[in-house]
Structure 1
Amino acid sequence: MSNIVLVSGPPSSGKTTLVRHCLREYESDRFTLVWLKGLLHRGDVLALREIIRSMDLQRHMSSAHAGIDEMTESIKAALGRSKGDDTADPKYANIPKHDKPMIIVMDDFEHMVKRQQKKQHLLYNLLDLAHYNTVSMTLVAITSFQEIHTSLEKRLKSRFTQLRITMPYVSFDDMIKSLHNLMTLPQTSEVTSSQDSFESKWNQSITSLCTDRDLIDTLQHCHCLNNTFPYFFKLFTECLYQLDHTRMYLTKEMVMETIKRARITWMERVMTDMSLFEFTQLACILNLSRKHRDFPITSTSFSEVYDIEYRHFTTSFYKTSDMVNKSTYHAALQTLLKYKLIKKEGTNFGEFMQFHLTISDIEACTRVVKSRGDCPSSLQSYISTWLE
């Protein structure tokens, strides 16, 4: 009996974790597991070699560099596909029967589909095998691409009759609950359930962190930047390195400091990857905002940045009166909005748009200027005046 299972959902929603958890429910010596990764096994040959290795069929190959057809027919013969089949090639009669059920997991399935040869031979042969009653094999495809069917060749769609499991989007509240559950220590005895026990005090500290309003607001902002659970989990686990015999419990200050370091690293990476023009606009907004008393919460407008600060930069530092048009400038601001480096205020758009900075670390900007090799001397001079 064979099955085809498709597990889909947003990135970091727990698809691979779910499959691994299900596999742990069975004794590992009762089945043969082949785990293919779309980014690693990006072609038929690499994927077939991994299957051959998992089935311990290497010594039955004519050479270490056996072709696709030989490996495919050997797998079919070992799984019993050739039994009673008039089309079976006699030269594969010496292939031993594989007596365990096969589970083939295809992680990052979308990459396997995209990188397969035009006729997708590997997928076709695997799906073909899964429909034989004499073959005990399960195919599990894991993908972040919801409409994976659109990438399949026509002859594969008819064979891809699968059980579909769709993982839901993990909300911010769900992440906080999951973090609380993961970080809480079990209390299984009367001794550990005492209010003075380490476990009890630890759990109280975790509960306090997960209900602190200021910390929740900060984490919610981080969620806008990176909404994957591993990112959140890493923030908390990095705090554990700060614990010692004098600091035995996590505190709000520890978590906030870790978040601050993580955000600086994230911001510098974003500023390094954005285009030079977008980075210039961010520099103009930073410089304009820092002149105000309530920096960095200063509210500013599109026209104020474009007509005043950007014009000042082009004429005083770039030594030209030529400025990009407003539509190009507005497109750069949309990128800054997407990266959450600025936050829009009100409902106005275009030249009337109001916004304020979400970052205040000027030194991070200066570090990026030094690390970027494409920054002209005019921009370096402009930013260096901030620290004078």
Structure 2
Amino acid sequence: MSKRKNPEKRLPIGQCISQVQAQLRQRLLQQGHPGKRCGVQAQHKHLVELLKRTVTQGESNSALIISPRGSGKSMLLHDALKEIKENTLQVHLNGLLQTNDRIALKEITRQLQLENVVGDRVFGSFAENLAFLLEALKTGDRASSCPVIFLLDEFDLFAHHKNQTLLYNLFDVAQSAQAPVAVIGLTCRLDIMELLEKRVKSRFSHRQIHLLNAFTFSDYQDVCKDLLSLAPGFPDAQFSEEWNSNLQVLLENKIVEDVLQKQFNSSKDMRSLHTLLHLALCRVNVSHPHLNAADFVEASRLRSLDSKANILHGLSVLEMCLVIAMKHLQDVYSGEPFNFQMVHNEFQKFVQRKAHSVYNFEKPVILKAFEHLQQMELIRPMEGLSVRTQKEYRLMKLLLDNSQISEALQKYPNCPTDVRQWATSALT
């Protein structure tokens, strides 16, 4: 009797959804997803060639990768490092973490695993210590020395270190051909060269790699498809096929296309796209196993929520009244700054007009509410003013516009009718 072929293994829908969430979330949250490189092929090739010359030929190099935040500097660097198959040592430094040269040197020692070599040695200078560390890595002549790649994120912050000693010595080692060293900096500042001292500039190679987000909307859609597609190795092949075919149809949907186009027009930042797709993916569950257009619309709505307008929803009625008083003062005086006393007087006019004891607060209570608005950064003091000025007369600026206040009032829970009418009434 011949054996029948076992039917293709199907997983319960709950397990499929768990696998989808695990795989796609990891892909969206990791820095360097191995997807399509859109518009940066030339920069990628340049960086790979630069690093390969250091690794294979022992040629020391230095370069800066410059572009706005979220444009793919880290992704470009991670991609390039993946293509370097040879054995290398990588030292990752970040200007936000290594706030001075002493901390940076300690981190370099830790990442190169040379704590036992340094021990309790006393060095005369930073340069001597760094030279000793690099000398300790040598296993013979220059050709057989282990190449070291220094990666400096937030590079511009290192320029604020005292005397720029770290940058000077790294570039000096790279220029002097003592050991195969590559120094790659990542920064958002176009004026970075103006921050460097003359002696540091003279040792830098002046190689600059600029990322300009030169991809098209079609490329943007391809990246979106690439990020949300399930890979061939998914445990349930039939579910994977259904997911990918549904995704293909979905991305051709006019509503989804409009959402992506709006996102593309507002920002080509890939992290913004990842956040949008992540919000849409969070809506997938057992009763809703596939993405649809409504998921993208809701994700876009959540992305465009105004955080300050949301803060207003949690204010007390008194605090909301003070915000409305400030709004009136801004309208009357064409955006000129105000002080607490002016806001208090405006609020008292409202209380007297309505003759409601419910809004009759003592002045210290009103001042406390005013200070709370400042703590939440809804108002801020004007710059350049003397701190000796009494707080009741300190000039302030409202950090909200009329549309934000109006939107917040519409959604404010149990907003008194008097307050709502006051906010919308024309000024006399």
- Which TM-score bucket, shorter chain as reference? 0.5 to 0.7
**Paired residue for 2:168?**
124
User: Over the residues paired in the alignment, what is the CA RMSD in angstroms?
Assistant: 4.6
1:147 to 165, 168, 191: 191
Q: CA deviation at 1:148?
A: 0.3
Q: CA deviation at 1:60?
A: 2.4
- Cα deviation per residue 1:315-356 (whole Å; 9 max; x = unaligned)? 763439xxxxxxxxxx979x767xxx85xxxxxxxxxxxxxx
**Paired residue for 1:323?**
none
2:134 to 72, 79, 82: 79
Is this contact kept in 1: 2:256–2:293, CA < 8 A? no
2:308 is the counterpart of 1:247: no
Q: Residues 195, 123 of structure 1: CA spacing in aligned structure 2 closer, same or farther, 3 A cutoff?
A: closer
Q: Residues 230, 283 of structure 1: CA spacing in aligned structure 2 closer, same or farther, 3 A cutoff?
A: farther
**Paired residue for 1:232?**
273
Q: Residues 44, 78 of structure 1: CA spacing in aligned structure 2 closer, same or farther, 3 A cutoff?
A: closer
* Cα separation, 2, equivalents of 1:71 and 1:14: 33
* Cα separation, 2, equivalents of 1:150 and 1:281: 46
SS of equivalent to 1:242: coil
Q: Residues 195, 234 of structure 1: CA spacing in aligned structure 2 closer, same or farther, 3 A cutoff?
A: closer
SS of equivalent to 1:79: helix
**Paired residue for 1:88?**
none
**Paired residue for 1:374?**
none
What count of residue pairs does the alignment treat as equivalent?
299
* Cα separation, 1, equivalents of 2:127 and 2:148: 15
**Paired residue for 1:6?**
64
2:200 partner amino acid = L
- Cα deviation per residue 1:177-233 (whole Å; 9 max; x = unaligned)? 532432244679xx98999743212322233267543x357546xx64x66321231
Is this contact kept in 2: 1:187–1:193, CA < 8 A? no
Is this contact kept in 1: 2:158–2:164, CA < 8 A? no
2:152 is the counterpart of 1:106: yes
SS of equivalent to 2:169: helix
**Paired residue for 2:209?**
165
Q: CA deviation at 1:78?
A: 4.3
* Cα separation, 2, equivalents of 1:359 and 1:230: 31
2:65 is the counterpart of 1:20: no
Is this contact kept in 1: 2:255–2:293, CA < 8 A? no
Q: TM-score, normalised by structure 1?
A: 0.62
2:211 partner amino acid = M
2:228 is the counterpart of 1:183: yes
SS of equivalent to 1:142: strand
Q: Residues 252, 194 of structure 1: CA spacing in aligned structure 2 closer, same or farther, 3 A cutoff?
A: closer
Q: CA deviation at 1:138?
A: 0.2
Q: Residues 157, 242 of structure 1: CA spacing in aligned structure 2 closer, same or farther, 3 A cutoff?
A: same
**Paired residue for 2:380?**
none
Identity %: 20
Q: CA deviation at 1:283?
A: 5.5
Is this contact kept in 2: 1:108–1:143, CA < 8 A? yes
**Paired residue for 1:203?**
248
* Cα separation, 2, equivalents of 1:217 and 1:204: 17
Which runs of 5 or more residues in structure 1 are unaligned?
A: 81-94, 286-301, 307-312, 321-330, 343-356, 370-378
* Cα separation, 2, equivalents of 1:277 and 1:44: 51
* Cα separation, 1, equivalents of 2:231 and 2:194: 46
* Cα separation, 2, equivalents of 1:232 and 1:76: 44
